[in-house]
Chains A and B, each alone.
Chain A
Amino acid sequence: MEKKKYPAGLDIRVLVPIISLSLSLILHILLPANKNYTQKEFTYYTGFLILMLVIYTVVMIITIFHKKFRKKMAHKSWFIGVAFLLLNLYNLATIKFMLIPSIYFPSPEIIFKVFIKDGAFLLKCLGYSGKLLVTGYLSGCILGILTGILVGWSTSWNYWINPVIKVIGPIPSTAWVPIALVAFPTSFTASVFLIGLAVWFPTTVLTSSGISGVKQAYFEVSSTLGASTIQNIFKIAVPSAMPSIFIGIFNGTCASFLTLMTAEMLGVKYGLGWYINWQKDMLSYPNVYAGLITIAVTFSLLITLLFRARDKILVWQKGVIKW
């Protein structure tokens, strides 16, 4: 392997997160908690800041020797720095000066405490939600693409199914909750159905419109190259409609998150939505925030994965939606 010949160097912007973090740490250690702050104090926020400081110092050292990474981090550094600054301001507004009601807006260290103390249970809830989401999402996707192909391709399927889609489709799948909960034997299957329905509708509509919009000339060329009808469907119609199918899947993904949370808040036992709702009822807002953070991280990870897949499959297209 050839050694990289990039000259070592430091972009000062890479120091921004480190400066922001050091400032937060100093303030947090030097400023005592507010006189009226009655709760027990913890060191989780201090620990978090030190951990981040270590991470970003290591990152900085790597950027000295790695030109591409340096460019990337330098670009992001302002954003990261400001994000830590805002967290610091929030810390000041809560534990240090008590400017906002601490019961609804707990200080960072209390929220971080939840991850440490209740982390295992949060993970369990995450696993439960994940199982529900994956089962419902995959079945909705597959059925949506299949229905979309049939409706987009065949006039008789279009005749029989299209009106049904038009009537059933626009009903938000959360509106089915009362019926689903009694119609299905378990709340798990009911939720799978609801999530599946939420994904199925946009996927079907955009698959079928994508397929019926495929240029006729592609089918004609394909036929003169020896393709059968089935091959025309799977080698021409589907790949050509892929950009549209992906938009359907993307809409479906967002709808599935929404449905998952609603289903869990309304009737399903376990899961992150249920956890948040339960903690809210118990007025433990730190746990609510921990649940929200877990959801945010997980969902944005899933969306990123989806876009990675899209970029792989649609390399022939230039990015239309950027994430």
Chain B
Amino acid sequence: MVKDINGKIEALHVHKYFIKPEGEKVYALNDVNVAIKPGEFISLIGPSGCGKTTFLRLVAGLDKANSGEVTLDGEKIVNAGYERGLVFQDPTLFPWLNIKENVAYGLKTRKVYKDKKNEVNEFIHLVGLDGFEKSYPHQLSGGMAQRAALARALVNHPKVLLLDEPFGALDAFTRMNMQDELLKIWKDRKTTMIMVTHDVDEAIYLSDRIVVMSARPAKIEDIIDVDMGRPRGRDMPEFLNMRTKILQILDFAGKREEPEYMI
């Protein structure tokens, strides 16, 4: 079946460097190899500045690797395209369009809006923004704007959804709600998800696998299978063990303060 190979991402010997103003090369990605299965939920976690955003931008087609290649279903990614949706940490809604127009943007540029009009409302409903169709982005709270950005990416039915710390700016409560919403959408659509996060709990709660990256020049330090059923309880022993393990890999464990609940 063709559908089975939809949304497979592979990175092969990907190198990416930036040139500083002084002419010095800064490696953001150093020989990154990873194969992401169709419909898989992957989290990228690693120290700040290690190259996570850079990796997402390569998959999105916004930047080009200096060597190596990234492929989607076996085809080399050279440009940005709607089959690879992207949600930044900052919602980046278009301020001159209202929420409905923002969500409809992708359908309109692709000239399929007439046939899929109703989907715009469906997605606005899905992210809980009914009644805000006519509002402009500056009238929304951060959390609402981020949900609108999510709806805007989802309405295109991308094969792969790239999420760059999408819930980083949200309060804990909204964040947990959004995580559940995202899981629902993912189960429904089987979209391949690649999500950058700083939050180890978020990674464990959501992902099939967690890619842990090392500090610059970023290499893949480890890829961890999260073989736990869903829904996952954030206080289950497995969950806590997994967290300790990841923190150790991240080399954070040693720096942690004494936990309050130690007996």
Check if B90 sits within 8 Å of A225, measured CB to CB. Answer: no
Per the 8 Å Cβ criterion, residues 89-125 of B in contact with A are 90, 92, 94-98, 105-106, 109-110
Are A227 and B96 also in contact (CB < 8 A) when A220-B62, A221-B86, A316-B136 are? no
Shortest distance between the CB of B89 and any CB in chain A (Å): 10
Check if B109 sits within 8 Å of A231, measured CB to CB. Answer: yes
Listed stretches A49-57, A143-151, A161-169, A233-241; interface member: A233-241
Contacts of B95 in A (CB 8 A): 240, 316-317
**Complex Cα spacing A231 to B109, Å:** 7
Check if A227 sits within 8 Å of B109, measured CB to CB. Answer: yes
**Complex Cα spacing A225 to B94, Å:** 12
**Complex Cα spacing A171 to B150, Å:** 50
B145-168 near A? 1/0 per residue, CB < 8 Å: 000000011001000000000000
Shortest distance between the CB of B193 and any CB in chain A (Å): 15
Q: Interface size class for chain B?
A: 20 to 34
Check if A225 sits within 8 Å of B82, measured CB to CB. Answer: yes
Contacts of A223 in B (CB 8 A): 61-62, 79-80
Check if B96 sits within 8 Å of A226, measured CB to CB. Answer: no
Check if B152 sits within 8 Å of A225, measured CB to CB. Answer: yes
Shortest distance between the CB of B217 and any CB in chain A (Å): 24
Main secondary structure of the interface of A (DSSP, over half): helix
Which one of B82, B86, B109 lies within 8 Å of A220 (CB-CB)?
B86
B17 within 8 A of A: no
B46 within 8 A of A: no
Check if A224 sits within 8 Å of B109, measured CB to CB. Answer: no
**Complex Cα spacing A240 to B93, Å:** 12
Interface size on A, residues (CB 8 A): 22
Check if A239 sits within 8 Å of B60, measured CB to CB. Answer: no
Contacts of B92 in A (CB 8 A): 215, 217-218, 221
Closest residue of chain A to B95 (Cβ to Cβ) is A316
**Complex Cα spacing A118 to B155, Å:** 65
Shortest distance between the CB of A212 and any CB in chain B (Å): 17
Contacts of A226 in B (CB 8 A): 81-82, 106, 109-110, 156
Check if A224 sits within 8 Å of B86, measured CB to CB. Answer: yes
A242 within 8 A of B: yes
B209 within 8 A of A: no
A251 within 8 A of B: no
**Complex Cα spacing A145 to B137, Å:** 26
**Complex Cα spacing A228 to B82, Å:** 11
B132 within 8 A of A: no
Contacts of A215 in B (CB 8 A): 92
Contacts of A222 in B (CB 8 A): 94, 105, 109
- Chain B positions within 8 Å of A, measured between CB atoms, are 60-62, 79-82, 84-86, 88, 90, 92, 94-98, 105-106, 109-110, 136-138, 152-153, 156
- Chain A positions within 8 Å of B, measured between CB atoms, are 215, 217-218, 220-228, 231, 235-236, 239-240, 242, 314-317
What are 7 pairs between A and B in contact, CB < 8 Å? A220-B80, A222-B109, A224-B61, A225-B82, A225-B85, A240-B96, A316-B96
Task: Kindly list the 9 A-B residue pairs having the minimum CB-CB distance in the complex, ordered from nearest.
Answer: A226-B82, A223-B80, A225-B106, A224-B86, A227-B109, A239-B96, A226-B110, A316-B136, A316-B96
Known pairs A224-B82, A225-B109 / 14 extra A-B pairs, C-beta < 8 Å: A217-B90, A220-B86, A221-B94, A222-B109, A223-B61, A224-B85, A224-B86, A224-B153, A225-B85, A225-B153, A226-B110, A236-B94, A242-B96, A315-B136
